[in-house]
Amino acid sequence: MPKVHYTLFVDESGDQDLDKFRTDERQFGSDPYLVFGGVLIPTKHLDDYRAFLNELRAELDVKALHCTDLSHLKRCYFARRVMSLRVLLFGVVSKKATIENYRKQIEGDKEKQDYYNKCAGYLLERVAHFMHYENIGSDQLSVIFEKKTHDDQRLRNYVRQIGTTPFDRRANYLSRIDPLCIRAEGKKEEPLLGLADLASFSIYQAFAETKSNFAMPEQRYLREIKDKFWKNPETGQIANHGIKFIKGPVNMKLSGKTSDFVMKFYRKKEA
């Protein structure tokens, strides 16, 4: 039986600034979260899915499927339509207020890139865990990040370093990611990055408490696509499989409906 090749598309929401981000005490500044979203697609479907997105873009009468430019209802419709595709979603959520000790380790000119790489590495680790479970080899994966002003070689070096000298057992999975399979493309050149944009945007909006949303995060988009995230095959748990909440919901100091929503991702199916 021939091996299936996969392509992972990756995008992020939020920013890498660690100096002046918004907190309960500071109402102005950069984003309080950095979120990564990944969409894993069997490579044989890429052309069909590009055509699908082009038709959807025309149906919605928009120039591009970029969530920040879509209305609420169009985002919901976009998310619902994606459920018909054979894709698997992954995500990583980092709340900047929880990484003070880590920031001391990376402080300097490269801290923004190193913070980005750390979170990107966690996302790749989740994908590699899935690959391990399904016995997918490193030669069966290509990875495409959205192109930005970032040192891609520094990211490749980081993935290579962690894959060869993992800092804990979970990082062992990264040996399945070949750093040379990682490249960056612009969203105009690769429309399938719009799916990764949807994933990262949906996760971010489920936690972001801002003045514009009256401190009431929008969970609708993530609810629409929740079932597409990779789950533990035995327990059905999404957290620590399809989505990694860095430091966990307790240290992230989530409360109210946001905390209740996150805990659903930790829920295991009944025996």
State which residues form the domain around 105: 6-266
- CATH classification of the domain holding 199: 3.30.420.10
Q: How far apart are CA 149 and CA 194, in angstroms?
A: 19
The first and second tokens of residue 110, run together, are: 């490269």
**For the sheet containing 88-95, what is the strand order?**
182-185, 141-146, 6-14, 33-42, 88-95, 243-245
Is 271 inside any structural domain? no
192 to each of 10, 94, 102, 109, 223, how far by Cα in Å?
10, 24, 33, 32, 21
- Residue 80 located in a structural domain: yes
- Name the pairing type of β-strands 88-95 and 141-146: unpaired
User: Please, what is the angle between helix 46-60 and helix 72-82, to 10°?
Assistant: 150
Helix 193-205 to helix 46-60 angle, to the nearest 10 degrees? Answer: 60
Interatomic CA distance for residues 225 and 101, integer angstroms: 33
Is 1 part of a structural domain of the chain?
Answer: no
pTM across the whole model = 0.94
The count of structural domains within the chain is: 1
Residues shown for the chain = 271
- Would 28 be classed as within a structural domain? yes
- Is residue 131 assigned to a domain? yes
Single-letter code of the amino acid located at 42: P
Is-contact 252 98, C-beta < 8 A? yes
Residue 249 lies in a domain: yes
Give me the amino acid identity at 206.
A
Q: Mind listing the pLDDT tens digit of every residue in the chain (271 residues)? A: 678 999 999 999 998 888 878 766 566 767 889 999 999 999 999 999 999 999 999 999 999 999 999 999 999 999 999 999 999 999 999 999 898 888 888 888 889 999 999 999 999 999 999 999 999 999 999 999 999 888 999 999 999 998 888 677 767 899 999 999 999 999 999 999 999 999 999 999 998 776 666 668 899 999 999 999 999 999 999 999 999 999 998 998 888 888 899 999 999 876 5
Examine residue 243 and state whether it is found in any structural domain, yes or no.
Answer: yes
